[in-house]
Amino acid sequence: GRLVSNLLYGLGVPDRLVKVLTADAGIAEDTKGSQLSGSSRKALVRLLTSYEVKIARLGDFSISMATAGGVSLSEVNKKTCESKIHAGLFFAGEVLDIDGDTGGYNLQAAFSTAYLAAQRMKTLCA
C-alpha cells in the first residue's frame, strides 16, 4: 500500500501542507492508506475540504504576487466575463486563468474584468 503522504502528493498537495494536515489529523508519517481508520480518514477529508489558514502578516506591494491558473478563458465570454457553461455565473480577477508581469497588470486585469462582469449584471437586473 501507498503511504498517506504519497497519496496526498498525488492529489497535488504540497509537501509542507501534507505534513501539517497529517499531523493535525493525528496520522503518523509512515501510515499507509490501507491502514487509516475510519475516523482518521474522516479527519483528513475534513481538513482537506475545510482547512482554515490564518494570515499572520501581509507583505508590502513590492513583494506582492499573483496566482497562476484558474477558470479557462475559453469557458468565459470575454465581453461580459460570464460563464459559457452556467448562465448568470461570472468570473473576475485572479479566479481567471490570466497572469501578467508585475507592475499593475494583474490589478488592471482584476479591475477590468470586474467592471465587465458588473456591467453585464447591471443589464440583467434592469
pLDDT, average across residues 62-72? 78
CB 87 within 8 A of CB 76: no
pLDDT, average across residues 66-79? 89
Q: Which of 69, 41, 61, 59 is nearest to 102 (CA)?
A: 61
pLDDT at 123: 94
Distance of CA 123 to the CA centre of its chain: 29
pLDDT digits (tens, 9 = 90+) for 3-61: 999 999 998 899 999 999 999 999 998 999 999 999 999 999 999 999 888 889 888 77
- The model carries a pTM of 0.49
pLDDT at 1: 85
Q: How confident is the model at residue 124 (pLDDT cuts 50, 70, 90)?
A: very high
pLDDT at 86: 95
User: Environment class of residue 79 by beta-carbon count within 10 Å: exposed (0-12), middle (13-18) or buried (19+)?
Assistant: exposed
DSSP state for residue 112 in the 8-state scheme? H
DSSP state for residue 12 in the 8-state scheme? T
pLDDT over 80 (residue 68): no
Rounded to whole angstroms, the Cα distance separating 26 from 22 reads 6
Element (H, E) at 91: none
DSSP state for residue 85 in the 8-state scheme? S
